[in-house]
Amino acid sequence: MEGSRALLLVAVAAAVAGLAAAGNFQTDCDIPWEPQNAWFSNGGNSLSMKLVSNYSGCMLRTKKQFVYGTVSTLIQLIPGNSAGTVTTYYASSVGDNHDEIDFEFLGNETGQPYTIHTNLFANGFGKKEMQFKPWFDPTTGFHNYTISWTPCMIVWYVDSVPIRVFRNYESSHGVAFPTSRPMFAYSSIWAAEDWATQGGRVKTDWSKAPFVANYNGINLDICECYSYGGCSTGCSAAAAPYRGACQLSSAELGQMQRIQGTYRIYDYCVDPKQWTNGQRPVECGLPQY
């Protein structure tokens, strides 16, 4: 057990170093909402954002848009009583019928675990939530959160372990999937005490403000798009390197099954209240690996 823990700590430390060298929040991103609540350190490789009040949080957005790619960062979540707060890392298009791939971290009372909330919007429609309890303390150190978006599938990773897959069944089964709308990558911190913690039953203790989340390194391995609307060569669904793997390896599948079997606490596929017209979503009966 101690040997495994030591290896994990080495892996996390290596990830921090790798990400810190791979991108720069200060040069690669803008802060379009409440920039006074963000500050950079470590030459722009590290970022902190604070939530001050119910109306004053913060949001960072990459300067580049992309169609397909992998975006990663390391996050240390708000310690202590974080009830009613939401810290995020996600990718989203802009405009009508938007596409979005979400990591949202829902705060909780002191001593209670965070909720790792994942969701997907395709062609403006979401309701594809899957939630997990973390198998580590996300407030005492940095952990790596990665979104991989290829023409074949979307994968959510935590510390390089896949926790969820959403496959592209658009052409074969009519399941909406993001394929063409360019996305930005975002990080944010905001207040959602009406729903975030235990369905809104636990409110934010504003005497504990400001609430601070820390980010370390940003890795943007993306198929870049430009302000005039075009994407770089190689961004079509048929082109490398953004085809990516079309299924998890057997080892990754085993990791994901263990995480979902032990730490998943919500799955829209088994919640009829989230189904349209009482019909179970088509993708819920199809392989997601």
* Catalytic center residues: 100, 104
Phi, psi of 176 (to 5 degrees): -60, 140
The residue type found at 72 is: S
Cα radius of gyration rounded to whole Å, the chain: 18
Residues 148 and 264 sit within 8 Å (Cβ to Cβ): no
Specify the pairing of strand 161-167 against strand 153-158.
antiparallel
Could you please report the per-residue DSSP string of 207-227?
A: GGPPEEEEEEEEEEEEEEE-T
For the chain, the farthest-separated pair of C-alpha atoms sits apart, in whole angstroms, at: 53
Strand order in the sheet with 100-106: 29-33, 58-62, 184-191, 85-92, 100-106, 115-121, 130-132, 264-267
Gap between the Cα atoms of 203 and 217, Å rounded: 31
Measure Cα distances from 97 to 115, 126, 133, 254 in Å: 27, 10, 30, 35
